[in-house]
Amino acid sequence: MSAAPATALVRADDLRAWFSVRSGLFRTAPVKAVDGVTLSIARGETLALVGESGCGKTTLGRALLRLIEPTGGTVHFDGRDITAHKPGKLIAFRRRAQAVFQDPYSSISPYMTVRAIVEEPLLIHGSSSRQEREERVLRAIELVKLTPVGETAEKYPHGLSGGQRQRVCIARAMVLEPEFVVADEPVSMVDASNRAEILGLLKEVQQRRGVAFLYITHDIASARHFSERMAVMYLGTIVETAETQSVIEEPLHPYTRGLLASVPEPDPANRKRLRPVIPGEPPSAAAVPSGCPFHPRCPDFMKGRCELGRPELKEAAPGHAAACYLYEQGRPLVGA
């Protein structure tokens, strides 16, 4: 398995988040949204979590924050097992861990001003004085470049664009100066011309305050510039993890290679060439295939092996782990 951060702020061990759905009149079936995930995030590090829609990325982020109750496994934050805490004992953790949700239209109240939205976490966690709250609110709004700050603070969400609403969500997350942030597509609603600026601002904050990020994204290009490490998720499991540059330049898992091959290239000469896509559709998390969950779509499928047992996430190259039978002991790396 790839090397874990030396001083992990967040660590998940065999984390599972299953949900029950009705499969008949009197029967239910488990939906394995997150199924045995182990990962670590160091202080001041960004771990990018990538994968197709519906693979469990958002559910994993919510489970790490205890916004949903894990079905099994553990989550440690700063050395403490937060899965053992009752909800009322999580207040101190909530001050140190925040989230930027994907949809700003549903994650902020339409009846509150920007000032009230950003100030709310300070009120919940008992910030000392009104003057201090005002200063921190205005600093957070300025941090995400919503100017003029005073005028923006008095606006309601209906008077903002989708990108501006997302910036408000980022300001709300950062106002408590957290140590860990789950950023679920934090720039998906921001204009393309401003995405690099927002990610640059988050990077500045990270370097100044040592914030750790779980950066959930479909945009591998932004993950390349914003993250130090990358984890690739498929059907509730991590199938590959390593330093971001290593994953992009030398992908090991067939699923990762398929994701990267489908990324468009900014070259007009390639416009007439169809990009390769991963065949088929991802299976339902309520009917996970036996063995390796990717085997029905895998171009390197080995009959009699891949469908019989699930491969473990093991180190296939120095610092680079993959959950694939192509890298069993004694078997050469692909392309070697």
Note the pLDDT tens digit of each residue in 190-221.
Answer: 777 778 888 888 888 898 889 999 999 988 88
pLDDT recorded at residue 333:
55
Q: CA Rg, the chain, in Å? A: 21
Contact predicate 53/285, CB 8 Å: no
Kindly list the strands in the beta sheet with 314-317, ordered across the sheet, starting from the edge strand earlier in the chain. 97-100, 180-184, 212-216, 46-50, 229-234, 237-243, 320-322, 314-317
pLDDT recorded at residue 3:
44
Query: 22 has which bridge partners?
Result: 28
Where the chain has pLDDT below 50, the residues are 1-5, 330, 335-336
Domains annotated on the chain, with CATH: 34-227 (3.40.50.300)
Question: pLDDT by residue (tens digit) across 122-165?
Answer: 999 887 789 999 999 999 999 888 999 999 999 999 999 888 89
Average pLDDT of the chain, as a whole number: 88
- What value, to the nearest 5°, has the Cα angle with vertex 291 and ends 71 and 73? 20
pLDDT recorded at residue 134:
94
The pTM for the full model equals: 0.90
Q: What residue type is 284 in one-letter code?
A: S
Residue 248: both structure tokens together: 């992009």
